[in-house]
Amino acid sequence: MSIFLLFLLITTSCTLASGQGTRVGFYSKSCPRAEYIVSAAVRSAVQSNPTIAPGILRMHFHDCFVNGCDASLLINGANTEKAALPNSLLRGFEVIDDAKKKIEAICPGVVSCADILALAARDSVVLTKGISWSVPTGRRDGLVSLASQASILPGPRDSVTAQKNLFRTKGLNTQDLVTLVGGHTIGTAACVVFSYRLQNFTSNGGPDPSINPTFLAQLRRLCPPGGNVFNRVALDDGSERRFDNSFFNNLRAGKGVLESDQVLWGDASTRGIVQSFLGTKGSARFNAQFRRSMVKMSNIQLKTGKAGEIRRVCTAFNK
């Protein structure tokens, strides 16, 4: 081994050990049971309530897109991110709190809430019969959480252009966009989020023409005019509890529930990526790309080293 290579290995090791960035196994010595505790907490919650899995995956996404992956979404308060309208229907916060409490009991002040959330998102995919990946850890928790900043989150009416522009500001490309939206293969949406598509969408009072007519009838039964706007509908019709590539098959068939999902099939710049995720070979491509895109997203605007803090509880800043 050359002297230069030896020097590089030593300096890289020291940099990672001091917390200047994320790496797999960051807590292997400081809190070796951390990942197991998170996994057990998520598993217990999902077994009791399967809707927790997609809730945690969405939570991680929403956290990362506002000030980076720093657990700012977990802070309680009237004017925090958690209180913002785009986050009002998220679920699973109590699972992160439970994991944090158990970790603090054995490794106080060591494991960040941001890392717990990133690990829990991975475990949520695994528990819905999806793929696993190694999660780099070493994030620190943020010191700011403002409801007003959540306004940048992607919306259900966003065009492909709007989505691409937002993802680009986070260092994510079009491939990452389509892949991460594929996380909608698990979970549901409330009628209030998409029912505007079912009637009076066009100038003559008709529905969104991109909706499959048979699926339109199904959605109208589930979300009738004057009905409960908080009724929930599977985002991946027929497979909302299994992480797979059927979501993309549904987009091809005009069965995307959210307008922002369905437009990925209608736009030339994203249709090819959707097509690449169809079928058996497409499933393997989607799984491989989802691993890469999740790690890439989880490193948005990192706070490491001496930035931020390690919270004692995830719902409040340290005093």
Instruction: Catalogue the active-site residues.
Output: 62
Q: Using alpha carbons only, how large is the chain's radius of gyration in Å?
A: 20
Q: What angle do CA 51, 258, 191 make, to 5 degrees?
A: 60
Burial class (CB in 10 A: 0-12, 13-18, 19+), 199: middle
d(Cα 32, Cα 26) in Å, to the nearest integer? 9
Distances in whole angstroms, Cα of residue 304 to Cα of each of 38, 68, 172: 20, 12, 20
Asked if residue 175 lies in contact with residue 289, where contact means CB atoms within 8 angstroms, the answer is yes
d(Cα 27, Cα 40) in Å, to the nearest integer? 17
Helix (H, G, I), strand (E, B) or coil at 188: strand
Nearest to 152 by CA among 271, 60, 67: 67
> Any idea how long the chain is?
319
Nearest to 125 by CA among 178, 63, 55: 55
Burial class (CB in 10 A: 0-12, 13-18, 19+), 115: buried
